[in-house]
Chains A and B, each alone.
Chain A
Amino acid sequence: MANKSILVIGGGISGLTTALEAAEVGYEVYLVEKNPYLGGRVAQMHHYFPKLCPPNCGLEINFKRLRGNPRIKFFTCAEVEQISGQKGDFDVTVKVNPRYVKPECTACGECVAVCPAERANTFNYGLDNTKAVYLPHPFAFPLKYVIDRDACADGCRKCVEACKYNAIDLDMEVETVHLKVGAIVYATGWQPYDATKISYYGFGRHKNVITNVMLERLAVPNGPTGGRIVRPSDGKEPETIAFVQCAGSRDENHQPYCSQVCCLASLKHITYIRENNPNAKIYVFYIDIRALGKYEDFYTKVANDENVIFIKGKVGEITEDPATGDLTLETEDQGAGQVVQQTVNLVVLATGMAPSVTAVPAELAVVDAGGFVISDIAQTGIGGAGCAHKPMEVSASVRDATAAALKAVQAVVGGGK
């Protein structure tokens, strides 16, 4: 008899949605997330476009659904190691990496006070540091601390001594969990395209060239700058900002597809900047502004701002003035055949989405050239949802993840009961 449980890999907005939607129909669901918290990439966003509302609001509702639903079992710090079998009958090996903090953690925070070591804060894309023992972010669900053992000082046990609840185990080992499921949904989301690969834009070399996801963290009130959008080189608020659209997208040398979200993300970022600085002048270098449907209203709103200038053209190269940290963008005016130059204080690269799918068993599922999981879950029992399936924005991801839940249900009921 077919196994009716569903495995969802990835606990971001898509994975949470697929898991909750299937569980609320009545199916048993396992949710496996590699981070020490659920919420994924959207937990790092300041606002959603076009409503400019905080993602934590929707996540909170989803966590509430999760807390109240006995049919979902979730694992954090966990990765799927191996999958074998077939639709209706998969064997899955899940590796649960040590958190070094036991479930008894009450999140009292005493450990952080005594921890002497620091690590780069990956949640803030390395824009600041946390202690080696840390809460991944203020809204982390589950609200449990985690330890980055690589960052610990040799032999240090200060946190262990400080914890009144005996909740820290520095010798915690990897655990292996075996699951039997009938369908598997990859909802592993996306990575920002590695901007260092677009060498002529100077990311990593020019301090004041940042990416769109970094800007998101700068804008958040609880982010590394307390919500101030400033230049990394001198901490000053930029007066002129350029957005470089399609940085690595729609480009045969990088990612040939359109990442779908970057236009609206940049429009949203412009609202962050303009809200804080009435004098800021913004240049957007673009190929096409792709604001589908009602998103057009949002584009119209931003385009009506006279401090925002849209320039059609693909930026060729960005150079830095080492004295000021300012940047000059060179863009070819396609018709006149001449090069236009624009100097600004800060450049934001609208880097696109690369799927963050790993270890999809080739004999069981279909992955396209870009790395997206495209097989039909109902047919093969394995497929993708959200940005592991194709590039898309949050609303479309939720829609796709809901559809994936039905496909997974079909897979486990064998196409009709």
Chain B
Amino acid sequence: MTKKQAVYFCTGCGLGEALDIPALVKVAKSEFKIQDVKEHPFLCGPEGVALIKKDIEAGVNTVSIAACSERVCYDVFNFGPSIIVERIPLRERVAWVQEPGDEDTNMMAEDYVRMGLSRAKVTELPEPFLVENPSKTILVVGGGLAGMTAALEAAKAGYDVVLVEKEAQLGGWAGKVYKLPPLVEPFTDLAENNIPALAKAIEDNPRIKVYTGATMESIAGGPGVFNAKIKHGGGTAEEKVGAIVLATGARPYDPKKLTYLGYGKTNVVTHAEVEEMAKNGKLKEVKRVAFIQCAGSRDPEHLPYCSAACCVETLKQAVYLKEFNPDAQVYIFYKDIRATGKYEYFYKAVQQTGAVFIKTEIPGVQVLEDGGKLAVAGKDIILGEDVTIGDLDLVVLANGMQTNAAFGEEVVLEDAEAEAAAAKEEEAAVKLDQIIKSNMLNLVYRQGPEMPALKYGFPDSHFICFPYETRRTGIYAAGVVRATMQVPAAIEDATGAALKAIQCVEAVARGEAVHPRSGDISYPEFNMNRCTQCKRCTEECPFGAINEDEKANPLPERTRCRRCGTCMGACPERIISFKNYSVPMIGGMAKSIEVPEEEEEKPRILIFACENDAIPALDMAGIGRMKYSAWVRVIPLRCLGSLNLVWISDAMSSGIDGVMLLGCRHGEDYQCHFIKGSELAEIRLSKVSETLDRLGLESERCRFHQVSIMDYYRIPKLIEDFVAKIDELGPNPMKGF
């Protein structure tokens, strides 16, 4: 499209008083040759908006609004998908954080106008990447309670489903239990095992195609265009699917590791064995039984986490015993009874059956033989004395669970790659994702065949606020494969995952990104002529969105892309660009900053800031009228992972005195919604520092800070400290070259 640019300066909110607006108008007119330049005292008001709309009707298609931040007035300044709108945040970034009327304030404002207009000049309207005939079928891997729930819930919303289960019949772990814990009000009565009913509903649902005795041979492609090969009945079936729910469940913790709690002795059994006994009517003979909770769980030597379900499972089995034998006496050795939420009602109900609860330390209890029977001895913490419960027919170990995703060999780099990695040692990249070959998905992804494992092997989301923020686009883990949980939680989790899978296939059909840049239609384009096969983009993509051919050329799978721009930041040849976000575009913004001569003693500091947390924090500093140095100029980035080093070296060679990066917290409790963007940026910065050293420029001229959105009150201090450092170092000697 031919650009017809216009610029609007708002003089409200103190902008008119704080800034020399005619000087800013001059920047637009004489430096950028834009003729349509207007001022308005209340641009976001009806009259101001009408002014812009009138110009748009007259043919203006690129609108630069020099007023407030894009986080406010987003609605009034939205002129539809065919109009480019660039916001120049003079209010939050300049007028509200600087001395009004000051020369330096106005120079700052002029630079923001330059940056905004240089960006507006080159940015283009993105067009969505649309795949042909995208599939909207949902593949569910795993036919236990979570998988069956996901399949049925997706089908009820009108979507076709392919359900793959490795056993000969559906049901998984839940299919093997006698009854389920309470699932409905009043949460005191056991639920009949509903697996046969669910299986029937699935069988009767024409939208669901079931493969039993089947496993995934491979899954290639990406959302909307997954090609799933299913090993089944001695052959291979192929299905084109749009998104995937991974619901392959968990397995009980291996009781052979629980000999310290008596496993191996006759009549010391696990939860699963009690289910068998209940189904076979073998609990009738059991008169006295003790349960030992946290058998393996909450134990640093075994499973450091809590298995979440075992307390309620034990309460359930205590009810079985009473059901088969009303005289049965139940003792429960526990650390804490974790019957959360409404399961408190169930706990009360079981207490009323006469079951005895003994708070103790586990490990710490002993299981002893007692004249043909068993005894459990331990310290009763409430009574403060040792107790022994003897004459037991059965001791049940509440043996917890481990995700099935945790079993398998870890993916290791191939020899050649390992050597290359060693050669690049000083470039020590971000720790690779741990991928365990659990043989569940068998993804044909360059980054490995399964979902990256997080702590304890769970392919969980790291985020509290976004439990479905998956690291493999379009693949949503649900149920106990993802995290330990109780039965109702697994049902909710599977339903939520089904929604996310449906949402993903709809987003792909519209050519849009999924969370966190949901709705974004821009995508990275690769100029392959200049690719040097360095592999950085494939290695650094946090979502495994880029495959490689045999010559190491990147093969981007567009629908796996989350649009963070990490590949763009990684590429040393700068061949990766979005229509509205590219290396030259951001570089152009930096270059548009006017760098005063050394004698003027006006240093310039460039800040690259993550738009998810650091930019809102800077806005908050503005709204709070906090003052900071007039030397800084801020450029927002989609994610610091998209930071390309050339911006820093160009800035330094054009005389910018210092560069500061503001990114999200990284490390174990990382805050980056693109997983490792800020970490990558810091690693890249360490490399540029070496380059600077070689050029005779102090590496202290570049600095990285981890900030959270709530650090806005800290940001002025960070800036002042850096300004002091730059003062100490003196002007950049490259000025004027």
Contacts and interface: CB of A to CB of B under 8 A. Distances in A.
Interface of A: 13, 20-21, 24-26, 48-49, 51-65, 67-69, 104, 106-108, 138-139, 142-143, 164-165, 220-222, 250, 256-260, 288-297, 300, 312, 334-336, 368, 374, 378, 390-392, 394-396, 398-403, 405-407, 409-410, 413, 415-417
A408 to B, nearest CB: 10
Contact of B465 (A58, A64, A139, A413): A58
A130 B466 CA distance: 33
Contacts of B503: 21, 24-25
Contacts of A297: 304-305, 455
Contacts of A288: 336-338
Contacts of A106: 12-13, 42, 44, 68, 73
A272 to B, nearest CB: 13
A394 B12 contact: no
B156 A65 contact: no
Contact of A293 (B305, B344, B385): B305
Contact of A294 (B153, B305, B492): B305
Contacts of B158: 413, 416-417
Nearest to B512: A24
Given A108-B12, A410-B153, A258 B381 contact: no
Nearest to B298: A296
A223 B553 CA distance: 53
Nearest to A291: B306
Contact of B359 (A221, A257, A312, A396): A312
A13 B382 CA distance: 39
B519 interface: yes
Interface stretch (B97-105, B421-429, B483-491, B685-693): B483-491
A104 B45 contact: yes
Nearest to B485: A293
Interface in B14-68: 14, 41-42, 44-46, 68
Contacts of A403: 492-493, 495-496, 499
A67 B382 CA distance: 55
B498 A257 contact: no
A58 B620 contact: no
6 nearest A-B residue pairs (beta carbon):
A58-B465, A402-B496, A403-B495, A406-B499, A417-B158, A288-B336
Interface stretch (B226-234, B567-575, B707-715): B707-715
A123 B503 CA distance: 34
Nearest to B155: A416
Contacts of A391: 341-342
Contacts of B197: none
B613 interface: yes
Contacts of A295: 306
A57 B617 CA distance: 10
B308 A292 contact: yes
A25 B499 contact: yes
For B14, B154, B495, the residue with the greatest tally of chain A CB atoms inside 10 Å of its CB is B495
A108 B708 contact: no
B41 to A, nearest CB: 8
Contact of A390 (B341, B495, B500): B341
B342 A57 contact: no
A66 to B, nearest CB: 10
For A21, A49, A368, the residue with the greatest tally of chain B CB atoms inside 10 Å of its CB is A21
Contact of A296 (B305, B381, B495, B516): B305
Nearest to A144: B72
B212 to A, nearest CB: 23
13 contacts: A24-B519, A58-B463, A64-B516, A68-B519, A106-B12, A108-B14, A139-B616, A396-B489, A398-B466, A402-B499, A406-B495, A406-B499, A413-B158
Interface string B689-730: 000000000000000000011100100000000000000000
Contact of A258 (B157, B306, B343): B343
Contacts of B1: none
For B12, B72, B157, the residue with the greatest tally of chain A CB atoms inside 10 Å of its CB is B157
Nearest to A249: B344
B96 to A, nearest CB: 9
A214 B456 CA distance: 35
A289 B613 contact: no
B671 interface: yes
Nearest to B484: A293
Given A296-B298, A297-B305, A25 B339 contact: no
Contacts of B515: 24, 65
B702 to A, nearest CB: 25
B185 A292 contact: no
Nearest to A250: B344
Contacts of A62: 465
Given A108-B13, A409-B499, A24 B507 contact: yes
A297 B455 CA distance: 11
Given A143-B623, A256-B344, A406-B495, 10 more contacts: A69-B519, A138-B624, A222-B710, A289-B336, A399-B468, A399-B493, A402-B467, A402-B499, A403-B499, A410-B157
B465 A398 contact: yes
Interface in B254-312: 298, 304-308
Nearest to A140: B623
B376 to A, nearest CB: 19
B156 A294 contact: no
Contacts of A68: 518-519
A107 B623 contact: yes
B340 interface: yes
Nearest to B309: A292
A104 B304 contact: no
Contact of A416 (B207, B298, B460, B499): B207
A334 B495 CA distance: 43
Contact of A55 (B345, B465, B500): B465
Contacts of A51: 462, 464, 669
B372 interface: no
Contact of A164 (B42, B516, B616, B713): B42
B173 interface: no
Contacts of B42: 104, 106, 164-165
B185 A374 contact: yes
A368 B185 contact: yes
Contacts of A293: 305-308, 483-485
B671 A402 contact: no
A271 to B, nearest CB: 12
A291 B74 CA distance: 41
Contacts of A368: 185
Contacts of B298: 296
B562 interface: no
A335 B384 contact: yes
Contacts of A107: 72, 623
Nearest to A300: B304
Contacts of A20: 518
For B45, B157, B463, B464, the residue with the greatest tally of chain A CB atoms inside 10 Å of its CB is B464
